[in-house]
Amino acid sequence: MDFITTLRQTGLIAILRGIPPEQVEAVGAALYEQGFHIIEVPLNSPEPLLSISRLRRILPSDCWVGAGTVMTVTQLHDVAQSGGQLIISPHTDPVLIEETKRAGLISLPGAATPGEAFSALAKGADAVKQFPAEAIPPVVVKAWRAVIPAAIPLLPVGGITPQAISDYRAAGASGFGLGGALYQPGMTAEQVASRAADFVTAWRTSSPLNT
């Protein structure tokens, strides 16, 4: 299954910021069991490349694994060598996007304005991470969606809770990046699974924008 199909079906990206490698396999397996098929390990986590390689080794092929907070081309290639498939960044860097696509990876750059989003898409981005979502409420997502084609996924990231998903999705959000409300360092796999179940329920019971 290709990435966009997976994203449209499952809708949720787990952001495991701060997770140590010795815990990542149990947490990753718990997330997959709950229905998460896209998992990100930010590069400002402890030994993130090791965590990425461990996730890629133990999770099924229909689960996409990648890195967040990717800022340089060197980091991009390190992620690729570790088995990562997704390059997620907080900003729109044309060089990084182009190199990501040349490497055959999925590009999910961050954008805070429609202008940044269109710049990212012009360079080949596969989807747009709307960041920070705290500054992009549903009414703003709806305004973006009025000019950005429905085929382009918009992914609010930052402060998203299960309660927020319905309004964002009705406004045109295609999926969500979930950080501290899903995982925080020190949580057990069971605790993460419980929170994951709440997000999956919120996703499945929400309705997308009619386009």
Torsion angle of the four alpha carbons 31, 33, 35, 41, in this order, in degrees rounded to the nearest 10: 20
Q: How many CB atoms lie within 10 A of CB 193?
A: 18
Cross-sheet strand order for the sheet of 110-111: 110-111, 128-130, 154-156
Q: What are the CA-CA distances from residue 40 to residues 52, 55, 122, 145, 171 (Å)?
A: 8, 10, 24, 25, 25
Q: 129, 134, 142, 190: which one is catalytic?
A: 129
Q: 22, 25, 33, 40: which one is catalytic?
A: 40
Q: CA 176 to CA 10: how far, in whole Å?
A: 10
Q: Does 98 qualify as catalytic in the annotation?
A: no
Which tokens in the block code for residue 39?
A: 């998992």
Q: Does 40 qualify as catalytic in the annotation?
A: yes
Whether cis (ω within 30° of 0) applies to the bond prior to 94 is no
Active site residues: 40, 129
